[in-house]
Amino acid sequence: MVEDFEKGQIIVDKNVVTYHDLKYFIVELNDKFRPDNLIKYDVLLIDIKEDELVTYVVKQIRTHINPRIYMMPIFLLSTTDFHEVVTTHLTDGILPSINHLDSIEPRALDIKANIERINHPKVLSFESQMINRTLNLMYTRNKKVLNPIPYFHSGIGYYYPELSINFDHRDESGALKILEIAEQEGLFQSEFHERVYCCNNCNGSYLNYREVCPKCNSSDSISQDLVHHFPCAYVGPIEDFKNNIDDQLDCPKCNKTLRHIGVDYDKPSVLYTCNSCHHRFQDYYTKAKCITCGTENDVEHLVPFSIKKYIMTKKGENVAINGYINIEKQLESLEGTVTMAIFKVLLTYEIQRLHTQGYQSNIGYIHVQHAAAVAGVLGLEKQKALMNDLVQMLKSNLNPSDFVSFYNSSTIVFSFVNTKHKEAKEAIEEMKDLSERLLRKSFEKVHIEVRTDVIALKLGGEVESVVNSMVFPLTKM
């Protein structure tokens, strides 16, 4: 398809095909694939035979930051079904050849129309972004049910393609947390499907259950039946009773021959000897060794997750179109923070305090940019740890009377009470500096940018609008 040719209404120019009202872009093996450039096209056709590369391309699209790109219709140019199950779920169909565009056109048009119906409010928190992406993808495909698909490569064994694609393997259980939030918000109803037990360390579900030595966790051991000889109370493994001459079993203590189990001897217990540490024991421990991270889990310490089937509600459909913004999920209360509601109450008092002659007050924020990307790289837990570090740094630099809250999971808002605006500006510059240094130190390999700002409080300011106006610039990035 490198040479230009014209056939009917199909206009092919390099990798671009225009047919009726749709512009198709064809990705080929040798192309330098630039997802950002796809914004100009309506449909993506993948003309690659290598499964891994196809998967890579699909992932690049579906995790793209731009909604027009991540929702883009994707078809595989292929005569056979594609085998990779997740990729199959995340693409929209198969096109046997470029001459059959008619076969996919209705679906492509339908998806395109749906995409155009969707509004994209700028949302900041990772959780909101994830919910929106999932709902968007489902809605544009007229999909009502989000089914967990059993997936060998998944960290937790089950995959919700539209959502899980955004997560790294070791962090996939994060998808379940997102779905839980969405369910609490009434966007989904759920049906129980399965329960999985995951590694206590990494939440991986690829576990090797086996019986191990209670002392050293080795699964290499031998078992022996202990024989109790009634007349003399000798207790020992059956080997002790064997002789070199015949098949009879003779008691090493009283020399009598064992005759009849239950009458003159029995086998009351089994004894295992560990080949690794020589520990002797009767009961194995069942341990689950995590193949992913190597942790030996006690079975009772595995983390259970409910895998559910999620059905989009009417509210969910609504949110799919209009975006999920209003209810930003609060981070679990971290030490030293107040809830957003309390923050707003305190802010009201602070604004009233401005009546006092010469009293000045400010609020500011620290925002970690690209929350979804950061969470993708760090994992949700580390991202939370990062936010916690930031809060502690803030607290030690603010006055004791200042209050701190999470605006969302990647934005911290706080006050500079009884402080001149100029001083607050200097302080926040310093904090920006400090936090960037802190992040560089803690997360060497990840480039994390922060944005900060501070605004002076004005008399008569409406709390809601004060906060929103301060955070507003963030939505335009």
Partner 1 sequence: MDVFGAEIQEFFHYLRSVGFSKLLRVFWFFFFFEFFRYVIVDLISLVFIMWDRKRNRNNYEDAKRRMWLELPLVSIVVPGKNEGKHIYKLTTSLKEQTYKNFELIIVDDGSDDDTEIICKSLKKNGLIDYFIRNEVRGGKASGANTALRIARGKYVVHLDADCSYDFDAIENIIIPFYESPDVGAVGGNVMVRNYKESLATTLQSFEYTDAISIGRMVASYLGIYRVVSGAFGAFRMDILQRVQGWDIGPGLDGDITVKFRKLGYKIKFEDRAVCQTNVPNSFRKLTKQRLRWDKSLIRFRLRKHSDVFFPSQNFSLTNFISFIENITYTLVLNIKWYIYASDMIYNFASVLPFIIVMNFFLYTTTNMFKLLVFNIFRERKNTPFSYFVLYVPLMVFYHGYYLRIVRTIAYIKEFFFKQSYKDPWNPEKTSIKALEIGI
Site for partner 1, rule CB under 8 A = 214, 226, 228, 230-237, 252-254, 256, 262-264, 266, 268-269, 271, 280-283
From CA 384, how far away is CA 392, in angstroms rounded? 12
Residue 91 token pair: 């693409």
If one asks whether residue 213 binds Zn ion (CB under 5 A), the answer comes out as: yes
- We find the least distance from the C-beta atom of residue 209 to partner 1, in angstroms, to be 18
Q: If binding is defined by CB under 5 A, does position 27 make contact with Zn ion?
A: no
Q: Which is nearer to partner 1, 267 or 309 (CB)?
A: 267
What span, in angstroms and rounded, lies between the C-alpha atoms of 308 and 302?
19
Q: Which entry of Zn ion, partner 1, none binds 303, CB below 5 to 8 A by partner kind? A: none
Q: How far is the CB of 157 from Zn ion (least distance, A)?
A: 13
Q: Which is nearer to partner 1, 259 or 315 (CB)?
A: 259
Q: Select the binding partner of residue 271 from Zn ion, partner 1, none (C-beta < 5 to 8 A, by kind).
A: partner 1
What does 223 interact with, of partner 1, Zn ion, none (CB < 5 to 8 A by kind)? none
Q: Which one, 243 or 356, has the nearer CB to partner 1? A: 243
Q: Which does 282 bind (CB under 5 to 8 A by kind): partner 1, Zn ion, none?
A: partner 1
Q: How many CB atoms lie within 10 A of CB 473?
A: 12
Interface with Zn ion, residue 277, by CB under 5 A: yes
Residue 416 near residue 363 (C-beta atoms within 8 A):
yes
Distance CA 198, CA 154 (A): 12
Structure tokens given for 317? 């459909």
Q: Which does 226 bind (CB under 5 to 8 A by kind): partner 1, Zn ion, none?
A: partner 1
Q: Does 178 bind Zn ion (CB under 5 A)?
A: no
Count of residues engaged in binding Zn ion, rule: CB under 5 A: 22
Q: Does residue 271 belong to the site contacting Zn ion (CB under 5 A)?
A: no
Tell me whether residue 21 or residue 225 sits nearer to partner 1 (CB atom): 225
The structure tokens listed for 304 are 């259970």
Residue 184 is encoded by which pair of tokens? 């609490």
Q: Which does 306 bind (CB under 5 to 8 A by kind): partner 1, Zn ion, none?
A: none
By C-beta, is 295 or 322 nearer to Zn ion? Answer: 295
Amino acid at 326: N
If the CB atoms of residues 219 and 322 are measured against Zn ion, the closer one turns out to be 219
For the bound state, the minimum distance from the C-beta of residue 235 to partner 1, rounded and expressed in Å, comes to 4
CB of residue 406 to partner 1, shortest distance in Å: 40
Candidate segments 45-53, 151-159, 206-214, 361-369, binder of Zn ion by CB under 5 A: 206-214
**Are the C-beta atoms of 159 and 149 separated by less than 8 Å?**
yes
Residue 292 has a CB neighbour count (10 Å cut-off) of: 18
Query: Which residue, 224 or 318, is less far from partner 1 as judged by CB?
Result: 224
CA-based nearest residue to 236, from 277, 275, 271, 283: 271
> Rounded distance, CA 27 to CA 219, Å?
50
**Site for Zn ion contains 290 (CB under 5 A):** yes
304-340 exposure pattern, b = at least 16 Cβ within 10 A, e = fewer: ebebbbbebbeebeebbebbbbeebbbbeebeebbeb
Q: Which two tokens stand for residue 211?
A: 């019986």
Q: Which of 101, 165, 199, 413 binds Zn ion (CB under 5 A)?
A: 199
CB atoms within 10 A of CB 461: 18
The least distance separating Zn ion from the CB of residue 255, rounded to whole angstroms, comes to: 7
Partner from Zn ion, partner 1, none binding residue 359, C-beta < 5-8 Å depending on class = none
Q: Which stretch binds Zn ion (CB under 5 A): 88-96, 217-225, 401-409, 428-436?
A: 217-225
201 binds Zn ion (CB under 5 A): yes
**Binding track, positions 227-266, relative to Zn ion; x by CB under 5 A:** --x--x-x----------------x-xx------------
Least CB distance to partner 1 at residue 247 (A): 22
As measured in angstroms, the least distance from the Cβ of 234 to partner 1 is: 6
Among 187, 202, 374, 450, binds Zn ion (CB under 5 A): 202
- Looking at 97-105, 198-206, 236-244, 306-314, which segment touches Zn ion (CB under 5 A)? 198-206
Catalog residues that contact Zn ion under the rule CB under 5 A. Answer: 199, 201-202, 204, 213, 215-216, 218, 229, 232, 234, 251, 253-254, 274, 276-277, 279, 290, 292-293, 295
